[in-house]
Structure 1
C-alpha cells in the first residue's frame, strides 16, 4: 500500500513591489507576457527527484512493493481525478465501494485509463501493468495505436519482448509507444518483463513522467550550468510585458490609493515554477543584467539550480512632487484625484531550485556579499544591486524572518499579492474585502531575507 504524508504548501510565488526598495523611481523592466515560454524543459530527472516531488506536492509515499490499487490511487491523486457523477455508475467484478481503491478506480475507468471491470487492487503491481495505466494517463494512447505491428516489433526488440508475448496488439502497442516517447527511463528497462513486479522506483518514475507529459511537473527555462541559460533568460525577459488585469487592479489600486498597502504585484500562475519548496528560493528584481550576473555568480560559487523566469508587474504610488512621469513600455501610470499616480512597472521573479538544502542555505551569504548594497559608494557588487534584495522561501530557513503574503485570485490565470508584516495582514484582508466583498483572498506566511523584513518594519532602511 501507499501512505499519505503531511505535505507543505505548494509553491506560491509572491513579492511586494520591489520598486519601493529604491529611494526614488528607477527604470524597471519586467512583467508578464503570454508570449514568454512557460513550457517545461526536457531535462533529465533522477528517480530521487520524482520521489521528493511526489512527497512534497501530493503527500504520496509508495511502499517498496506497490499493489495495483496503490498505483491506481496514486494516479488519481496526482492528476486530481474524481468520479463524474453525470456518467454511468461503475460496478467492478472484484472491487466494492468500501475498498480504499474504489473511488480512484471509478475515476480512472471513467477517464478511459482503466479498461477492465476487473481491478485486482490487492495484487502486486507489475511493471507492464503500470505502463498500461501510465500510457493512457499521459494521453499517449492515440500515438500507441498508430503503431503498425512491424513498428511495434522493432521497438520491443530492444526490450527482449515480442508482440506475441501480449494478449492483444493494443497492449504491445502501448508498451512500445511508452518506451519510444520516453515515458520509461532506460535505466529501468530491465523491469519490463512478463509478470515482473514493479519496484517503488519504477512506479514513482512513471508517475513523474506522467506529470511531465501532462505539463504538471516543474517548469523551468534551464539550469544555471547550461551554456544556453543566458540566452533563454534574455528571451524570457524580452518577451515579457506589463500585466493588465482590470478585475484585480480595481481592488488593489483602491487599496493603494487608500494607503492600505504600499505596493502590490501582479503575476501569472502559468509561469509558476512548481518547484519543490524545500529546495527553492525565489528572487525578485527589475534588471536583466542583474539576473544574468546573479546566475554567473552562482556558477562561480559552484551552486547549481534549476531556473524559472516568472514575469511580474509591480505597482506603487508615484508622488506628484517627483514630477510628471513619462510612460514607456516598462512603466505605465494612472493619475489619481489627489495628483499622485499609480505606477505599474515591469519586473520579474526568478525561482531557483537547488540540488540540495546545503546549496539553498549557501544562497544568502553569497547574495549578502556580492549583491547587497550597504553604502552609496560601495564597489565589488554585481550590477544593479539593491539596498534591500528581495528573496524568500516557503520552507523554514535560519536567519530569515517570517512575513505574510496577502493574495487575491481572479477568474483567470492572473493573481495580485502584497507582502506585509504578520500583524498587519488581518487589516489588509479586511480592507480588500471592504473594497470588493466577493474577491477570493488567501494568506500564508513564509520566510524572507532580513533586509527586506527591516524595510517592512521601517527599521534600518539601508
Structure 2
C-alpha cells in the first residue's frame, strides 16, 4: 500500500511556497512555542498509567474499599483466565455465586491454592500481594527465599516474618525485591494487617500482573531516553521482510484482482497495546527519517513512549516504471500482465504521549517539518513524503475517517486501508480469498494528505 504511495510521491509536486518551515510552524493553529524547559515525565509506569490502561482496556476502575472477590474477578479478567467447567469445591463459595467462575479459573491456574476464598472480606494489601505473586508467575522464585533474604525485604515494610506464615513471608519478600510491590506502597503495610488496600495499590498490582505476563504495553523506550536512537537503530537493523506465505498469497491475489492497490503485512508480537486515547502510529521506510522525527519531538519538548513495529508493504509495481532493482529489503515477483508485486521493508512507529494535547500537536508538527509540498522544498526531515501517513484509533480534529480491513492468521496479519465506501467490497473479497483467516474491519482517523491520496488526489 504505502509502497505505491511512495512511487507516486516522487512524481507529484505543487508550486513552491516561499515560506520558511519555522514560520509555518509558528503560524500553525494550536501549536504553541516550546516551553522554556521540558515537563518532567516518569521513566516508569505509575498508578495513574495503570488506572487509565485498565479502564480503557478492561473497564476496571476501583473506587473506595474493595473486596477480595472483586480483586479475584479483576485478576481473572486481566489474565484471560476461564473456568474449564470441571468441579472446583470451595468451602465458602457456592458454584452459582458471582465470584465462583473467577475463583475456579484462578484455582485451576494455581493462583488460588486453598479451599476457602473469603470473597466478601475487604481486600487487604497483604491479601492482594499474595494473589498477585502467583498471578505474576513468581511463585517458584518466592519458594527459593532463605530467611536472610526474607528478613531484609520485610524490614522495608516494617514487618517481622514471625507474624506471617513461612510461605506468606517468602511471597511478600519476593514482591518487594522484584518491584511487584513498588516502594511508594510500603506505607500501606505499616498501618496494620487489617487496613484495606487503596485503589491505587490495587490497580498498580493489576498492572504488574499484566506486565509480568507480557500483556501490558510494548515499547523500546521513550523519546527522552538518552539511548533511544541506539534502540531504534537496533530495532530497524534486526527487522526484515515478513514472510507469512498463506496470508501473503491471499493478499497477492487481491492485488492481482485489483481489489486493493496495496497492503501491509505485520507481526502482532510488536503491537504496542498502548492507551488509544494517548497514542498514534506513524508509517515510513527510512531509518534516518525516524531518527530525525524523534529529534524533532524532543525539540518540541514532547515526550512519548516509542514502539518500533516492523512492516512489509506490498504494492503493484508497473512495468513502465522500468526494471526493478531487488535488494535484501526489496523484492519483486512478476505477475501475468507483466507488472510486478513489490515487497518493501517499512515500519510503523507508535507513540503514546504523556498528554492528549501533545498528541493533538503532532499533525501540525509533521505538516510543517515532514510533509513534502515541492521537489526542492527546504528545511524538511530527510526522506519526507508527499503524503505522510499517521493515524489514531480515537477521534482527532483535522483528521479524516477511513477503514482498516484486517485479516489475521496466528500472529501475522494483513491490513489494507480503504475509503469507507469501498470497505465492504474489500472485506468481502478478502473473506473469499482467505476464508480461514480472522476478519476484522474498523474505522479510524488518518491525516488529511493520506486521505487525499486514497481519493486519488496528488497533494
The TM-score, its normalising length taken from structure 2, stands at 0.91
Matched, 1:202 2:187: no
**Cα displacement string for residues 304-335 of structure 1 (whole angstroms, at most 9, x for unaligned residues):** 10000000000001111112212111101111
Per-residue CA distance 1:73-115 (angstroms, 9 max, x = gap): 0000001001123xx4112111123322111011111111111
Residue 65 (1) aligns with residue 50 (2): no
Q: How does 1:133-148 map to 2 (within 5 A)?
A: 133-148=131-146
Task: Give the distance between the partners of 1:457 and 1:390, measured in 2 at CA.
Answer: 14
Matches within 5 A, 1:57-456: 57-85=57-85, 88-166=86-164, 168-192=165-189, 193-410=192-409, 412-456=410-454
Would you say how many aligned residue pairs link Structure 1 and Structure 2?
427
Cα deviations by residue, 1:410-450 (Å, 9 ceiling, x for unpaired): 1x311101000011011111212232333321100000001
| SS of aligned partner of 2:315 | strand
Give runs of ≥4 in structure 1 deviating > 6 Å: none
CA gap 1:155/1:131 in 2 versus in 1, 3 angstroms: same
Please state how far the C-alpha of 1:344 moved relative to its aligned partner: 0.1
CA-based RMSD = 1.4
1:205 is paired with a residue of what secondary structure?
helix
What is the rounded CA distance, in whole Å, between the counterparts of 2:228 and 2:323 in structure 1?
A: 38
Structure 1 residue 208 displacement after superposition: 0.6
Q: Structure 1: where are the runs of 5+ without partners?
A: 1-15, 27-41
Task: Provide structure 2 residue ranges, at least 5 long, that are not aligned to the other structure.
Answer: 12-41
What is residue 38 of structure 2 aligned with on the other side? Answer: none
> For residues 370 and 132 of structure 2, what CA distance do their matches in structure 1 show?
45
Q: CA offsets per residue over residues 199-233 of structure 1, 9 Å max, x none?
A: 10010011111111111111101100011000000
Whole-angstrom CA distance in 1 between matches of 2:308 and 2:249: 27
Distance of 2:358 and 2:152 partners within structure 1:
44
Q: In 2, are the aligned partners of 1:409 and 1:439 still within 8 Å (CA)?
A: yes
TM-score by length of 1: 0.90
* Preserved CA contact (<8 Å) 1:62 1:70: no
Identify the residue that residue 23 of structure 1 maps to in structure 2. Answer: 8
Superposed CA deviations along residues 326-384 of structure 1, whole A, max 9, x for unmatched, are 21111011110111110000000000000011111011111101111111221111111
SS class of match (2:45): coil
Once the two structures are TM-superposed, the CA of residue 20 in structure 1 deviates from its matched residue by 1.9
Residues 84 and 25 of structure 1, relative CA distance in 2, 3 Å threshold? farther
Please give the secondary structure, in 2, of the residue aligned with 1:380.
coil
- For the residues of structure 1 that align with 2:432 and 2:209, how far apart are their CA atoms? 43
3-state secondary structure, aligned to 2:186: helix
2:278·2:355 contact (CA, 8 Å) conserved in 1? Answer: yes
- Decide whether aligned partners of structure 1 residues 25 and 409 sit closer, same or farther in structure 2, where only a CA change above 3 A counts: farther
Q: Return the alpha-carbon distance in structure 2 between the equivalents of residues 435 and 155 of structure 1.
A: 58
Aligned equivalent of 1:56: 56
Contact 2:156–2:186, Cα closer than 8 Å, also in 1: no
| Deviations 1:122-149 (CA, angstroms, capped at 9, x unpaired) | 1110000000000000000100010112
